[in-house]
Each structure stands twice: as C-alpha cells, then as structure tokens.
Amino acid sequence: MIPFIDLQAQRRRMGTGLTKAISDAVEGGQWIMGPQVARLEAQLAEFAGVKHAIACANGTDALLIVLRAWGIGPGDAVFVPAFTFAASAEVVALVGASPVFVDVLEDTFNMDPQSLEAAIAMVKREGKLRPRAVMPVDLFGQTADYRVLEPIVAREGLKMLCDAAQGFGGLLDGRRSGGIGDAAATSFFPAKPLGCFGDGGASFTNDDGLADLLRSIRIHGQGTDKYENVRIGVNSRLDTIQAAILIEKLKIFPEEIEMREVVAQRYSKALSRSNRIRVPHMITGAQSTWAQYTIQVPDRDKLQADLKARGIPTAVYYPIPLSHQKGYRDFPGAPVPTSEKLSKTVVSLPMHPYLDEATQARIIEAVLESV
C-alpha cells in the first residue's frame, strides 16, 4: 500500500533539526506551556497576518474557547455547514447553543451563501433562537468565499468564527486562512497540513480583549495569578514538545504548500480529461493548502475497491452529512441536498507534499482505468 499521507517523508527531510528541537524541549524541563509556546504563538500570528495567536491542546478546543469567550450559549444559533467534520458543530452544542446547519456548494464543498441566508431567515422567522455567529469551514484546504460571506455576516450583526483546521495557511486575495474572521481556529493534528506529533491547536484574532479572554479560558479561567480563577475555563494547554516541533515545521510550511499545489495541479490536469470525474474547483484569488484532494465520481465504491486492489488507499470525507448523524439530527437547519449528494460521491486521493511524480502517475492511471 502506498501511504495516503506520508508523514515519514517529511520526518526524513527534517532530519536532525527536528530531533534537536525535541531534545531541547525535553532538556528545558518546562514541558507544558514552556518558552517555545510563546515563540510559536508569535510566529503563527506573523504568518497568519493577525495580532494574536493563542495555542491550545487541540483544534476542537481552539473553536470552543472562542465560543465560550463570546458568551455563546443556550438560546443562541451558530450557523455551521452540514458537510464538515463533527468538531465544527460539536463545540456549538458543547456550549449549550444550537448548531443550525447550512448547505455547501457542489464545486468547492464550502458554505453556500444562499443557504446561509435561508437558514438565518428561518431562525428569525421561527423566533426560538437568537442568531449569534457563523462558522464557515475552509474545507479540504480552500477558504470559503469570504468575499460573499462577510457582507452577509456584517449585515446581520453576527460574529464570524472561521474553522481553519484544514485550511490554515491557505490564501484568499492575499489574506491567510487563520487571519480571516473575528476569530479563527486551527488544528495541529498530525495529518493536518501543519501538524505536530500529537494533539495541538490555536485560535487567532485581532481583538485584544478577546485574546486576553482566550488566554484565560484555556487555563482554567485564570486571572493575573496562576491560582486566581476569574471565570470558568478549561484545561487546554499546549505541550512544549509540540510547540518545538511546530516551530521547525513552520519553517518549511510555505514551501510545502507550494509542493502540495504542484501535486494538486498534476491530479487536476490529468483527471479532468475524464468526463466521469469532477475535480475540485478553485475560486479566483484562492490558494488551497490541499489538506485533501477530493474528487466526485458516479461509482465511488467501485473506484475505492479498484484502487485498493492496486495498493492505493482512498478515504471518504464525509460519508454522512453532519446534520444527518445520530448525534446531530435533532438540530435545525436549511435543506442540505448538496451535502447529501456529496456524501455519496466524494472520494479523497493520496495527497501530501512528497508524493513523487511516478507514484502519482500510478494513482492517476488507476483512477482513469477504473472510471
């Protein structure tokens, strides 16, 4: 089997620099929230073009603590795409608010502005929930179309929290995913475009007051002193080793995004020749981080089986729209026919910066033969 994501190739490339960073973190003895964490936060903020980066234990917490800081809770509605990873809606439910599901666009997999408008109108008409925030997700690495979403969010007086867990580092008109929205959050789960060797996450904002709240909430609602607790918080500190790893990986991240782009273009050029394959569509001004390379095909089961037989792994993100999952089906939402359709047709192919041309040619040939 060829790897779906080859993290070992990156590990080999990084060599002793990475090993030294890890051993320095161990020798330093401050294993949680050590000095590397503040250094990483400064570098992440600069990279994203935003004032504050607040590191925490995982991407789910990075979203959660923003909702907590905004005081979003029971009776509030947060608009979330139906076609996303569970964490996007989970955090809304965890703070006691209601996720309201919105459909996505068939060509980009990202939040459909018309469906968002319909969902907001529905919530206002029903009068049971207060619209508070919109959470677009930069799915598979491409930013949502913020040029269209931002005016809707502003007109409705809502907050925008961007789920950049997959898109962090991508660009839209020169703005980095992570630096867009009233706040954004990312994940450093190992398989993410910028991942560490365990769990990790970060929230981002230009708002000084919000940044202070996030720093407090991530460590048990602490005040100026460690044992002063001025609010209810969570335990979401980042390990120093993970920060040290991320500092090293951030150095090569811009180059890796370019390498991912080369791989994606090779796929799109070759696969778009078949009229039975729909390749991902890039909106103008966008550069994706290609967290996934996801195509749409009429007979997904056959393609997956054919590729598996030839040692090529595939994955389905996501086989069931979140709004239809058992844990989420009682929450309200707009109709989501596109999410339903995508959940039956999408399939993701091996994608990482170190996918060499010969291996990729093998994958492309197998896909074309199968369809």
Closest CB to ligand PLP among residues 88, 370: 88
Q: Which of 103, 112, 163, 256 binds ligand PLP (CB under 6 A)?
A: 163
Beta bridge partners of 287: 171
Contact 242, 26 (CB under 8 A): no
Closest CB to ligand PLP among residues 63, 213: 63
Q: Which of 201, 233, 350, 353 binds ligand PLP (CB under 6 A)?
A: 201
Residue 3 is encoded by which pair of tokens? 């790897």
Closest CB to ligand PLP among residues 162, 211: 162
Q: Which of 110, 115, 143, 187 binds ligand PLP (CB under 6 A)?
A: 187
Q: Which of 98, 166, 216, 294 binds ligand PLP (CB under 6 A)?
A: 166
Query: What are the φ and ψ backbone dihedral angles of 241, each rounded to 5 degrees?
Result: -60, -40
Closest CB to ligand PLP among residues 189, 197: 189
Q: What is the DSSP string of 240-298?
A: HHHHHHHHHHHHHHHHHHHHHHHHHHHHHHHHTTSTT-BPPPPPTTEE---S-EEEE-S
Closest CB to ligand PLP among residues 5, 366: 5
Question: Cβ of residue 163: shortest distance to ligand PLP, in angstroms?
Answer: 5
For ligand PLP (CB under 6 A), the number of binding residues is: 15
Residue 153 is encoded by which pair of tokens? 């969010």
Contact 32, 237 (CB under 8 A): yes
The answer to whether residue 137 forms part of the interface with ligand PLP (CB under 6 A) is yes
Which of the ranges 79-87, 272-280, 327-335, 363-371 carries the binding residues for ligand PLP, by CB under 6 A?
A: 79-87
The answer to whether residue 339 forms part of the interface with ligand PLP (CB under 6 A) is no
Closest CB to ligand PLP among residues 64, 171: 64
Closest CB to ligand PLP among residues 123, 196: 196
The answer to whether residue 289 forms part of the interface with ligand PLP (CB under 6 A) is no
Question: Cβ of residue 91: shortest distance to ligand PLP, in angstroms?
Answer: 8
The answer to whether residue 140 forms part of the interface with ligand PLP (CB under 6 A) is no
Question: Cβ of residue 189: shortest distance to ligand PLP, in angstroms?
Answer: 4
The answer to whether residue 87 forms part of the interface with ligand PLP (CB under 6 A) is yes
The residue among 350, 255, 219, 238 whose CA lies nearest residue 293 is: 350
For the chain, what is the total number of helices (H) and then of strands (E)?
A: 11, 12
Using Cβ positions, the residue closest to ligand PLP within the complex turns out to be 59
Closest CB to ligand PLP among residues 198, 313: 198
Rounded distance between C-alpha atoms, residue 281 and residue 121, angstroms: 29
Rounded distance between C-alpha atoms, residue 359 and residue 95, angstroms: 45
222: buried, middle or exposed (CB in 10 Å: 19+, 13-18, 0-12)? middle
The answer to whether residue 98 forms part of the interface with ligand PLP (CB under 6 A) is no
Residues 6+ apart with CB under 8 A from 336: 82, 83, 101, 102, 103, 104, 115, 321, 323
At 362, which helix (H) or strand (E)? Answer: helix 357-370
The residue among 81, 99, 77 whose CA lies nearest residue 158 is: 77
Summarize as ranges the residues that interact with ligand PLP (CB under 6 A).
58-60, 84-85, 87-88, 137, 163, 165-166, 187, 189, 199, 201
